[in-house]
């Protein structure tokens, strides 16, 4: 349930979560005003278990009025919750870790990282990604875009990094969204061997633009390098070795969850600016986590 507004789980990510979620309630208008605490905000509904993923006290008190068997919430350090994580609790810096704490509070056992990352992708999408990224070569993926220029590592450094890794036998794959499609000719001029699966794959445009196709492409890669961006999290969802580049945003809060990953922060080089990160620093990070064969 998305209390106010819509949710991507009913839109762009619907195909991914359809085996897991039976019903989605969008914009029921719950959580705005204190008088909602005096009534059941979802008349006629009752749930065995409610997991409240937000932490605003007022909203939590309102949601708790929905009839339920158990109620799990991290608000005020789980003081309003039927269950809590084991041991002495403190809120984690990273958002995804706090979500996993909710899983532990609801289930009584710690969520396993490997099971949390297992995604069931449509076989047709997987086959389409395999045609775009054929078996045989070792692939390094690059996601040079981000929601704002302040979060983008300089594009020429992505190209230089890819050139160095080509010499090490890694074919470059650039994951470019619609707003970055104009970069293709520039990158291809410097890296004629580069692949651009979102621009070069011939299929239903809705399929190619789907985050699920990007995740399927990501699963074909041996290593990825991405800014703090939606594409970076899509590559993380494929659970590949991933180097995440952070500048002005907090890696402690937004770093993706992967089995084998590392973060390179501009702050470690004396600035919030992305251009403070050198190619050598990212290359060293790739060498630490990329499989050798």
Q: Do 195 and 285 belong to one domain?
A: yes
Q: What pLDDT does 113 receive?
A: 63
Q: Do 106 and 127 belong to one domain?
A: no
Q: What is the pLDDT of residues 124-182, one digit of tens each?
A: 889 999 999 999 999 999 999 998 999 999 999 999 999 999 999 999 999 998 889 99
pLDDT band at 117 (very low <50, low <70, confident <90, very high): low
Q: Distance of CA 97 to CAs 116, 206, 257, 290, 291, Å?
A: 11, 32, 9, 24, 26
Q: What is the pLDDT of residues 240-277, one digit of tens each?
A: 999 999 999 999 989 998 889 999 999 999 999 999 99
Instruction: Using DSSP, state whether 153 is helix, strand or coil.
Output: coil
Is position 155 within any domain? yes
Give CA 276 to chain center in angstroms.
24
Is position 127 within any domain? yes
CA atoms of 158 and 163, how far apart (whole Å): 9
Q: What is the CATH number of the domain that holds 265?
A: 3.40.50.2000
- Tell which wins on pLDDT, 90 or 132: 132
Q: Do 64 and 137 belong to one domain?
A: no
Is position 17 within any domain? no
Positive/negative CA dihedral, 228, 231, 234, 236: negative
Q: Do 96 and 143 belong to one domain?
A: no
pLDDT band at 12 (very low <50, low <70, confident <90, very high): confident
What is the domain count for the chain? Answer: 2
Q: Do 145 and 200 belong to one domain?
A: yes
Q: Is the pTM of this model over 0.75?
A: yes
Is position 131 within any domain? yes
> Looking at the predicted structure, is the pLDDT value of residue 291 above 50?
yes
CA atoms of 124 and 204, how far apart (whole Å): 12
Is position 171 within any domain? yes
Q: What is the pLDDT of residues 28-57, one digit of tens each?
A: 988 888 999 999 999 999 999 999 999 999
Of 78, 111, 144, the residue at which a domain comes to its end is: 111
Is position 194 within any domain? yes
Q: Do 83 and 223 belong to one domain?
A: no
Which range marks the domain in which residue 83 is found? 31-111
Q: What pLDDT does 17 receive?
A: 81
Q: Do 132 and 262 belong to one domain?
A: yes
Of 111, 142, 170, the residue at which a domain comes to its end is: 111
> Residues of the chain with pLDDT > 90: what percent?
72
DSSP 56: -
Q: Do 69 and 167 belong to one domain?
A: no
Of 54, 80, 111, the residue at which a domain comes to its end is: 111
Would residue 27 be called left, alpha or beta, if left means φ above 0 and alpha means ψ between -120 and 50 degrees? left
* Strand partners of residue 47: 68
Q: Do 93 and 219 belong to one domain?
A: no
Is position 12 within any domain? no
Q: Do 88 and 167 belong to one domain?
A: no
- Range name among 118-122, 131-135, 212-216 with the lowest pLDDT average: 118-122
Q: Which of 251, 203, 239 is nearest to 95 (CA)?
A: 251
Q: What is the mean predicted confidence (pLDDT) over 195-215?
A: 88
């Amino acid at each position: 349930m998305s209390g106010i507004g819509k949710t991507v789980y009913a839109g762009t990510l619907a195909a991914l979560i359809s085996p897991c979620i039976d019903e989605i309630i969008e914009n029921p208008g719950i959580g705005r005003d204190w008088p909602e605490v005096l009534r059941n905000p979802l008349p006629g509904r009752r749930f065995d278990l409610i997991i409240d993923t937000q932490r605003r006290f007022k909203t939590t008190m309102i949601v708790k009025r929905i009839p339920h068997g158990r109620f799990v919430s991290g608000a005020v350090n789980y003081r309003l919750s039927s269950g809590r994580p084991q041991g002495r609790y403190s809120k984690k810096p990273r958002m995804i870790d706090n979500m996993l704490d909710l899983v532990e509070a609801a289930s009584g056992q710690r969520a396993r990282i490997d099971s949390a990352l297992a995604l069931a992708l449509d076989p047709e999408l997987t086959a389409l990604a395999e045609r775009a990224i054929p078996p045989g070569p070792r692939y390094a993926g690059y996601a040079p875009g981000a929601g704002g220029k302040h979060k983008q590592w300089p594009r020429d450094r992505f190209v230089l990094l890819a050139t160095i890794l080509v010499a090490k036998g890694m074919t470059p794959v650039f994951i470019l969204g619609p707003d970055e499609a104009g970069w293709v000719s520039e990158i291809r001029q410097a890296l004629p061997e580069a692949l651009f699966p979102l621009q070069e794959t011939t299929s239903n445009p809705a399929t190619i633009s789907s985050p699920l196709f990007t995740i399927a492409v990501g699963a074909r890669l041996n290593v990825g390098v991405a800014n703090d961006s939606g594409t970076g999290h899509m590559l993380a969802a494929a659970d590949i070795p991933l180097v995440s580049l952070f500048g002005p945003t907090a890696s402690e809060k937004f770093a993706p969850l992967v089995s084998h990953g590392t973060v390179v922060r501009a702050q470690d080089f004396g600035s919030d600016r992305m251009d403070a990160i050198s190619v050598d620093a990212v290359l060293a990070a790739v060498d630490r986590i990329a499989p050798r064969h």
